[in-house]
Amino acid sequence: MRVWAVANQKGGVGKTTSVVSLAGLLADQGQRVLLVDLDPHGSLTSYFGHDPDSLTLSVFNLFQHAGQVPDGLAEALLLDTSHENIRLIPASTALATLERQTAGQGGYGLVLSKSLAQLNDQFDFVLLDSPPLLGVSMINALAACEQLVIPVQTEHLALKGLERMISTLDMINRSRQQDLPYTIVPTLFDRRTQASLNALRVLRTKYAANLWQAFIPVDTKFRDASLAGVVPSRLEPGARGVLAYRALLRYLLAKTLIDAQQRTAE
């Protein structure tokens, strides 16, 4: 089971869209995909027609167990989606109280990775959708994954958010004593705007080593897909945005393999 997290300490940069798009492409190929919504806003949960305000069971329930997560709990949280190969552990509004509940207490950092271990034989891929803030759920996502995807909107202010995300990652790497491989993905690229072109140029000079060289273009089909509650590749497999995510997926699959080989060689 491969676990990838999508995170950035900034909202509106395409995290949830990236999760849904990559999941759809994997699921279309017959991979069994699990999505975990770690954002109290519950956009991913809403995307597939579940209401974060009325759900009584959610990913939050996992965090009520600091030490051992009870057997079968993760499985009890699984919801269906519009895609037969994608299942979802939803977020609920209760997730917003997580920071307060766990404040000053240790032992919550590996709740998610222990829970995912229970589902190891049911899924081929897990994609984690993170909230735009550094807290218990983002720390759990970074601890549970083998690969991090950082979507960055191609505009000036978003580059500041990227710096923050990378210093967070440095901190996490120090505590896990191993570097988490990551890929920066330029998103919402609009070739007609100077802001997009400038941001892409900055990314290519400053972050070349961990940057996916292409970009995800602005494409209104993403909004149409979210309104319809289906993955973008099901709505329109040939859409520009879908083709871009297809190329990104190929890149990430190859990179994951190379990184794994490197780890075994070390």
d(C-alpha 103, C-alpha 125), whole Å: 31
- Closer residue to ligand ADP in complex, CB, 119/159: 159
d(C-alpha 47, C-alpha 246), whole Å: 20
187 contacts ligand ADP (rule: CB under 6 A): yes
Answer whether 180's CB lies under 8 Å from 173's CB: yes
- Closer residue to ligand ADP in complex, CB, 55/152: 152
Pair type for strands 86-89 and 79-80: antiparallel
Q: Which distant-in-sequence residues (6+ apart) come within 8 Å of 157 by Cβ? A: none
239 contacts ligand ADP (rule: CB under 6 A): no
- Closer residue to ligand ADP in complex, CB, 3/239: 239
- Closer residue to ligand ADP in complex, CB, 45/102: 45
Distance (Å) of CA 68 to CA 118, 132, 144, 155, 175: 11, 27, 15, 43, 21
- Site mask for ligand ADP (CB under 6 A), range 12-41, x = bound: xxxxxx------------------------
Where do we find the tokens 């000053």? Answer: 104
Where do we find the tokens 């900034």? Answer: 10
From 1, 11, 73, 243, residue interacting with ligand ADP (rule: CB under 6 A): 11
199 contacts ligand ADP (rule: CB under 6 A): no
216 contacts ligand ADP (rule: CB under 6 A): yes
- Closer residue to Mg ion in complex, CB, 46/147: 46
52 contacts ligand ADP (rule: CB under 6 A): no
Q: What is the number of residues in the chain?
A: 266
d(C-alpha 15, C-alpha 4), whole Å: 12
Closest approach, Cβ 208 to ligand ADP, in A, equals: 22
From 91, 138, 222, 235, residue interacting with ligand ADP (rule: CB under 6 A): 222
Per CB under 6 A, the segment of 83-91, 109-117, 203-211, 219-227 that binds ligand ADP is 219-227
CA angle 10, 126, 232 (to 5 degrees): 70
For the record, the structure tokens of 87 come out as 């299942």
Closest approach, Cβ 189 to ligand ADP, in A, equals: 8
Report the amino acid identity of residue 238: G
229 contacts ligand ADP (rule: CB under 6 A): no
Binding residues (CB under 6 A) for ligand ADP: these are 11-17, 43, 187-188, 216, 218-219, 222-223, 226, 241
